[in-house]
Each structure stands twice: as structure tokens, then as C-alpha cells.
Structure 1
Amino acid sequence: MTSRRPTRMQTTLGAAATLEGVGAHSGLASRLVLAPAEAGSGIVFTRLGRGDGEDAPLRAVAGNVTSTDLCMRLGAGAASISTIEHLMAALRGLCVDNVAIDVDGPEIPAMDGSAAGFVEAIEEAGIVALRAPRRFLEIRAPVRVADGAAWAELAPAPAGGFHMDVEISYAGAPIGRQRRRMRLTPASFRAEIARARTFGFLSDAERLWREGRALGASLDNTIVIAKGRALNPQGLRFSDEFVRHKMLDVLGDLALAGAPIIGAFRSYRGGHRLNLALVEALLATPSAFAFVGGEDENPRARRPAGAWAPR
């Protein structure tokens, strides 16, 4: 069970957790061990089983991303770990700051295509507070990136906390145009987006299979769409499961900023590449953010004169 813990203190797991499964893109088996880590460690993946006898630690930060093609991939030298976004979303959504993750395989297992399996494992291991204050990344000025009609932005949040406003647009049923807004808390994460599964079109899957990709994708871990409907026998978990899953991806991608964000995120037709570009643009604009919290009782206490204020 999850422990009671103050949100202003850093956290880690109370015990180790092990998960196994198949990667959606590689089709290869993978085994994860999530273990407690010291305050200030952050989220660190270690790639095992490469055959050269050397472990390769990879800190989950934007600077270590090597690809956003279909998923987020971390890499350094010859080592890489793919499809980290759903696990990262589970850790951020449940306010877990420090975890050491051993990965025996090239990719994080797809599980059921959502973050639900990771949430279950994390909560079974327990979440415990550490004797160190949490540091937040507070948005002080808007930052925006665009690619044609698609765009994403971060802006100050008048009410504090982290807010998401995500809109997607696909031609025809069953997706069409969907938009959802939420304020992130562990409770809202569990209830609203943790169980939302990844999705794709059968026509695209057939092309990817011919290219040797999406080899582990199936009706067990992907909502597959063809002829205007989902082919999965169990149907959808939410009527707007598609936009909810995009919110899950946003949460996992923005976790690569390196600290929980205080701010408001909004996007239209976004994706991994645009989300990463937004994090990179933010970190390249020092005037747009500040790291706050730490020893402060109120993580917004360092707001300078003239900065945004609640309305």
C-alpha cells in the first residue's frame, strides 16, 4: 500500500518491485527491477544484458533522449532503453522522485499499453518519504513550440500545481476531435489517465511490421483502429481514452525536465517529439522558469516581484 507522505518531501519506493513483459516495438522480452534510491538520485535506468559485461546507467533527463520516433528512447554510447514514457508517467503521477531501475532488455515492457501495471507495482512496493525537501520547476513565463498546425506550450499556473489541457484531432471515428483538462494529483492520475491505453491504426501497424517495427504490438497492449472502430473485443475503457492516453504521454515526457513542474501545459495535436522540444525550449530559456521549494515551506515563496500571481 502507498504510505502517507508530505508532498513537499522527496520520496522513493519502500521495497523493490519486479515486472516482466514484452516490448511493444521490439517484440523482445524485458525484465525490470525498480528499487529504492537515495534523495537527490532522481530516476536512473541501468541497461543490463548487453553482452559486453558493462552496465550502462542512464539518468531520465531530456539531455539523454536519443529518439522520439514512436516512443521516448534514452541512450548513451552503445546503450539505449526505449519506451520509457508510461513508466515515467506512473512515477511522476504518483509523486515518486528517486528510483533505481534495472532493465534487462532493450525496451520497457508494454504491459497492457497503459500505466496501470506500473502503478500497481509501485503501490505494492509502497511510497515512502525521505529526509530531504522536494525541488519543483516553476514556470515563470510562457514557452511555446510549434510544428505546422501542431503546438505545445507551458505557462504559469495561477492556482499553482500542474495542469494539463490536451486536444487531439484525427479524421473520423472513433477518435475525431477530443479535448480534456485536468489538475494533476495522485488521485486524478489514477482515476483519469493511468488506465488509458496506447492506440494505433491497423493500416499503420501493417506498414510498421513490414519495416520490422511494432513487433510486440497486439490487441493485448494497443487499441487497434480499423474501419472507424476499435477492434479490441473488450472495447474502450473511456469514451475519450485516446486523449487520456495522450495526457499520459505528456506526463511521462515532461518528467524528463528533471523536477515536478508547477505550471499549465496545453497542446494541440502534440506528440513525443513536440513534448521533448518544449522541455528543451524551456530549459534553454532561464527567464521562463525557476527551481523552487527545497527548504522553502511554500514552493512558490521565491516568486519575484512582478511575477505572475493568483487571480
Structure 2
Amino acid sequence: MKQTTIAKKVEGIGIGLHKGEPIKIVLEPMDIDSGIVFYRSDLGTSFRAEPKNVINTQMATVVGNTKGYVSTIEHLLSAINGYGIDNIRIVLDANEVPVMDGSAISFCMMLDEAGIRELEAKKKVLVVKKEVEVREGDKYVKVTPSKNPKFNYTIKFENPVIGKQSYTFEFSKENFINEIARARTFGFLKDVQKLNSMGLALGGSLDNAVVIDDNRILNPEGLRFENEFVRHKILDAIGDISLLGAPMVGDYEAYAGSHDLNHKLTVAILSDEKNYEMVTLDEKAPEYAKAFA
């Protein structure tokens, strides 16, 4: 298998979740071994999507440096990872990726419009060699060796609308589009009101999030999936794990995970070369290729 990028430049405009202002996003092709790069056109500075550039994980995954940052990158990265794209530049004129409808499906549509182009270099994947776990109390995220990558996630909320949900996702582009990409981010009305009072989440609405009151969903159309909440957590995890710098071949498991735990997991994986192996997908490693076909 060969490395990929997009076939042509595409662009769109969407609302930023926190400032509530229009943001222009442009996706551009990149050459071999470029990775995933964010470029702030208003600042003239770039940030590569990798763990060392993560500067905040409180409410979203944020990459940046002393010159600036880009927030809420996980939904876009999830689509890029789901499509198996290795090299791409994301150009933004503001400090966050537009929220679109709160899921990854709008980014999938942009990638479909752009098309995928193979490059003249073999694809590289990160193969998990041993179990790595990050735990905080009863919450944990971990990866284990596997030739057929899966994401197994469990959430548990006191709110009766969500309760306890579990879902296992077998990684492939087709499965990502059908099972994960349309799952929207969610939040509680009381938290949204608190964030608004702090000047945050000003772009949040029923058009780009599932909003929950004490015992009901406020969105008139209801849910897209019965278990949309846990599916969205998988969507986030796929995006966060893509910061490893190469598609991961291994199983991911989480109980009440978060952006912060996902970031700590990527750091833990890369901290010891015994945890992983970078494998080039050629005739010597066909067993790893089928997940990214």
C-alpha cells in the first residue's frame, strides 16, 4: 500500500464553536512523509498534528506553540484517520476548526469532494506491540496488540438520558462512514449556559450538538443513533489517536475516557520503543494492510 493525500484542494466555511464566528477551512494536498499539518493563515504559522504539540485537552484537543494554536481538531482528524489519509494540510483563518454539525460527516463530504491520491512511497503504520494503559481512578484508556483494529468504548453518566452505553467499532473507512461519522457531540444545558456566561461555546446550538436537559433531549429531531453518545466518544478517540503520527494497528479500549486521557495515552505509547513498531506496508506485512484498504 502507498501513502495517500487528497487529489485536489477543497474549502468550506463553518461556525467556530467557541467564538461563534465564521471560519474558513481549506484542505490541501501534501507530499510524502509530510503528515497532518495545521496552518494558521492569519498568523503565518504551522503546527504538525503530534503529541508534543498538544497544549490543552480540557474541552477539546488543542495543538499550538508560542505563536498560536488551533482548537477542536478531533472531529476533522477523525475523518482524516477514518479515510486513511497520511498527508494533508489544513488551512484556517482562526484559532479553531469549525464545528459544522458537531460530527465528522461534513469533513467526510469535503474529503469525498477532494478525492484521494496515492503517492510514490509506501504507507507506514504504527503497530502496537504490548498493552499500554493510562488510568485515573476507575477511568481508563488503553491499547493492546491486534491485527484488526477495533475501538471498544464504554461511558456511564448519571443522567438517565445517557446512562451506560457500550459500543465496539471495527476500524475501516466504510464502517467509519456508516457507524461513527454522523454521531454528534453532546452537552448538558446547564453546562452550555455556564460556558456562555464565560464567553465560551457562543457558536453552540441545536444545529451542531445534542443538548440534554435533566431528563430529555432538546433537539426536536432526536438522536441519529440510539447510542449516539458513545459513538461520538469513539469518533473523538479516533481523532485523538491519529496524533500518533501514523495509522494505529491495535485495539483501543476506554471506560469514561477523555481528550486528556487519550493524549496521555499517545504520549505513553511513544515514550518507549518497546510499545510499538513502525511498519511499512509492503509485501512483507500484508496482514496489516486490510484495515486501511
- How high is the TM-score relative to the length of structure 1? 0.90
Of the three residues 147, 152, 155, the one matched with 2:144 is: 155
The CA RMSD over aligned residues, in Å, is 1.2
- 1:29 equivalent to 2:22? Answer yes
- 1:169 equivalent to 2:156? Answer yes
* Structure 1 counterpart SS, 2:250: strand
Q: Contact (CA 8 Å) 2:41, 2:93: kept in 1 or not? A: yes
Q: Contact (CA 8 Å) 1:292, 1:299: kept in 2 or not? A: no
Aligned to 1:17: 10
Greater CA deviation, 255-264 or 292-301? 292-301
Aligned to 1:133: 122
Partner Cα separation in structure 2 for residue 226 and residue 101 of structure 1: 35
Aligned to 2:228: 241
Q: Name the count of aligned residue pairs.
A: 288
* Structure 2 counterpart SS, 1:249: helix
CA drift of 1:299 comes to 5.6
Partner Cα separation in structure 2 for residue 215 and residue 178 of structure 1: 29
Partner Cα separation in structure 1 for residue 181 and residue 281 of structure 2: 28
| Amino acid paired to 1:63 | K
Give the ranges of 4+ consecutive aligned residues of structure 1 lying more than 4 Å apart after TM superposition: none
- How high is the TM-score relative to the length of structure 2? 0.96
Of the three residues 96, 102, 105, the one matched with 1:113 is: 102
Partner Cα separation in structure 1 for residue 194 and residue 287 of structure 2: 49
Partner Cα separation in structure 2 for residue 25 and residue 274 of structure 1: 22
Aligned to 2:60: 71
For structure 1, the 5+ residue unaligned runs are: 1-7, 302-311
* Structure 1 counterpart SS, 2:12: strand
Partner Cα separation in structure 1 for residue 128 and residue 283 of structure 2: 17
- 1:286 equivalent to 2:284? Answer no
CA deviation profile, 1:139-160 (whole Å, cap 9, x unmatched): 1110000111110000101xx1
* Percent sequence identity over aligned pairs: 40
Q: Which aligned pairs between 1:96-111 and structure 2 lie closer than 5 A?
A: 96-111=85-100
Aligned to 2:206: 219
* Structure 2 counterpart SS, 1:221: coil
Aligned to 2:291: none
Of the three residues 20, 35, 44, the one matched with 1:42 is: 35
| Amino acid paired to 2:23 | S
CA deviation profile, 1:276-299 (whole Å, cap 9, x unmatched): 000101111211111112555316
| Amino acid paired to 1:72 | T
Aligned to 2:70: 81
* Structure 1 counterpart SS, 2:285: coil
Partner Cα separation in structure 2 for residue 254 and residue 26 of structure 1: 26
* Structure 2 counterpart SS, 1:282: helix
Of the three residues 31, 52, 56, the one matched with 2:45 is: 56
Partner Cα separation in structure 2 for residue 220 and residue 152 of structure 1: 30
Partner Cα separation in structure 1 for residue 19 and residue 80 of structure 2: 23
Q: Contact (CA 8 Å) 1:293, 1:299: kept in 2 or not? A: no
